[in-house]
Each structure stands twice: as C-alpha cells, then as structure tokens.
C-alpha cells in the first residue's frame, strides 16, 4: 500500500538494494500478524485456560479472521476487473478471457467462500468463533471507512492494475488513469 501511496511512508516504500523487495514492509506486516496472533492467543488462554484445545482454537481463529480479510482484499476488487477491461480496450484481452477472469472467477470464488464460510463457521456458530467473525467484519468496515476517507481527500493512490499497465508500457498508464478518474 505504500508503493501505491495509500499509506504515505517512504520508509516502508524503500526497496532492498540487493533484492528489490520491500523488506521493511514485509517485516512490518510479519510483526503485525505475529502480534495479532499472540494477542488473540493470550485472550483465548485468559478466557478458556491453557490446554490443547485453546492452542488449536487460537490458530483456527487467526486463520478464520485472516481468510475473511484475505477474501475482501483479493476477491472483492476482482469484481471491478471486467468493467475495467471493458473500458480499457488498449489492454488486449479476448472476450473469453475477460469473462473468465472478470466474471466467472470472482463469482465462483465468492460462491465457494460463502459455502465454506457457512459450513465452517455459520453452520456451527459458537463462541469464540462468532466474536472473531464479528471482529473481522468490523475490520472490513474500518477499512471501507478509511478508503472512503482517502477517496474524499483525493489520496487513494495508484491502482495496481493501472500501475502494471504503465509498467508494461501500454497506453492508459497510471497517470492517465488518475486523470481519467478525476475527470
């Protein structure tokens, strides 16, 4: 997100000189994830006591929460791909590929997510799963609020798709995309 100027941090944006990988951003992401898992585990141990069930439950809850967030981070934007590709004819996609990657995959992924979510969580919705599902959904609402705030200020940053189009040297790159979006 720092590369796309969604989070303004030159420190996070800096790439490792040897590998050209955003090592600092990856380490911050790892530290945040580790901290979150440890906090969740500590809360579960405090409430349910330390035993084998609590340990496995801690990993299950962390996995459930991250899966919900992963879905919203990856699949929801895929629903905009078909419309994006339809508007940008300079990106050479066959109609079949556009329909497959822009409609079939997101709809199929959503159906699979809803089914597995129902079978794994909703079908047996008991504590502490329910609390962590609610927490994940509240995080999603927080992300939406932050995104709307950034959009209102005109600081959304670059679209990854337009960034890649610009890197590929095609017309309608990131700068043209931003100008078109503002118009």
Rounded CA gap, 31 and 25, in Å? 10
**Residue (of 136, 126, 122, 128) closest to 49 by Cα position:** 128
On whether the CB atoms of residues 140 and 129 are closer than 8 A, the answer is no
Instruction: State residue 182's pLDDT score.
Output: 43
Q: How many residues does the chain have?
A: 183
- Alpha-carbon dihedral angle through residues 158, 14, 30, 39, given to the nearest 10 degrees: -80
Tens digits of per-residue pLDDT, 18-63? 888 888 888 988 898 888 888 888 888 888 888 887 877 777 777 7
Predicted TM-score (pTM) of this structure:
0.54
């Amino acid at each position: 997100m720092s590369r796309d100027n969604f989070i303004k941090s030159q420190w996070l944006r800096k790439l490792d000189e040897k590998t050209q990988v955003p090592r600092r951003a990856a380490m911050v992401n790892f530290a945040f994830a580790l901290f979150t898992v440890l906090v969740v585990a500590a809360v579960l141990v405090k409430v349910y006591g330390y035993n084998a069930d609590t340990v496995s439950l801690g990993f299950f809850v962390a996995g459930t929460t991250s899966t919900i967030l992963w879905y919203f981070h990856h699949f929801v934007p895929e629903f905009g791909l078909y419309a994006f590709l339809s508007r940008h004819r300079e990106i050479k996609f066959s109609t079949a590929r556009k329909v497959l990657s822009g409609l079939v995959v997101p709809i199929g992924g959503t159906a699979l997510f809803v089914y597995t979510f129902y079978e794994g969580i909703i079908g047996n919705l008991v504590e502490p799963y329910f609390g962590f599902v609610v927490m994940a959904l509240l995080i999603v609402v927080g992300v939406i609020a932050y995104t709307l705030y950034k959009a209102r200020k005109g600081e959304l940053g670059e679209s990854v798709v337009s960034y890649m189009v610009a890197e590929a040297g095609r017309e309608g790159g990131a700068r043209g995309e931003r100008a078109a979006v503002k118009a």
